[in-house]
Amino acid sequence: VAMAVEQSIALFVDSNSIGGLFERCVSDFLITGMGVAKAALETKTTQIPVVVANVITGQPEMVLDEQTGEPKTEEVILTQSVGVEHWPSKQFRWEPSANWEKVSWICYDHYLTKKEIKKQFSVDQLKDSRQGSEDVGGGSGDRELDKYSQTYLVHEIWDHKAGKRLWISSCHDDILE
């Protein structure tokens, strides 16, 4: 998978369709604190019935669940694409280290509504930990704070040592994904 992602990014860069995003990221790097580049793998999947060949006839048959009698399904990948996103530096954090190779985790902060959290993580119960005026904004006024008033801060943590991506938030007692 890693090689496929690397080759996809190389093709994306070679085809010059990445220019504007990288130019923005490079400019933001030069202007301290503006943003970083984030590679994004988008995968679309679907459920298909599990089919096996009948031992006697050789004809395909659906495998049924022993308890429910419903056809068993498996998830298959329909499409995958790799892209690059511009990510604000105020919403990007990493483990403090003098050497980037020794950083074991990084974190992207997302501001999601209750509806977005329910859809993405299938979570029904959320604690009220929405962002308040002391947590967001940079003194930009009430209009800037209003856009965050109905959102929850969700952390997307990439744990390099464990090779996992974790989603956590103070609005939920357990790991979201």
Per-residue pLDDT tens digits for 42-91: 899 999 999 999 889 889 999 998 899 899 999 999 999 888 888 888 89
13-17, 55-59, 83-87, 106-110: the lowest-pLDDT one:
13-17
**For residues 91 and 13, which has the higher predicted lDDT (pLDDT)?**
91
Alpha-carbon distance values, 15 to 8, 10, 18, 146 (Å):
11, 9, 8, 40
The pLDDT assigned to 136 comes to 41
The pLDDT assigned to 26 comes to 60
CA distance 12 to 18: 6
Alpha-carbon distance values, 135 to 71, 86, 95, 151, 174 (Å):
49, 22, 21, 12, 22
The pLDDT assigned to 137 comes to 40
The pLDDT assigned to 6 comes to 75
Q: pLDDT grade, residue 104 (50/70/90)?
A: very high
Quick one: average pLDDT of 125-148?
Answer: 56
Is it the case that residue 112 has pLDDT exceeding 80? yes
The pLDDT assigned to 1 comes to 60
- For the chain, first and last CA: distance in Å? 20
**For residues 90 and 15, which has the higher predicted lDDT (pLDDT)?**
90
The pLDDT assigned to 31 comes to 61
**For residues 157 and 2, which has the higher predicted lDDT (pLDDT)?**
157
The pLDDT assigned to 119 comes to 92
DSSP class of residue 137 equals -
Beta-strand runs (E) in 56-163:
60-62, 73-88, 92-94, 105-113, 151-159
Paired strand residues for 45: 77
Is it the case that residue 23 has pLDDT exceeding 90? no
**For residues 155 and 38, which has the higher predicted lDDT (pLDDT)?**
155
C-beta contacts of 137-144 below 8 A and 24+ residues apart: none
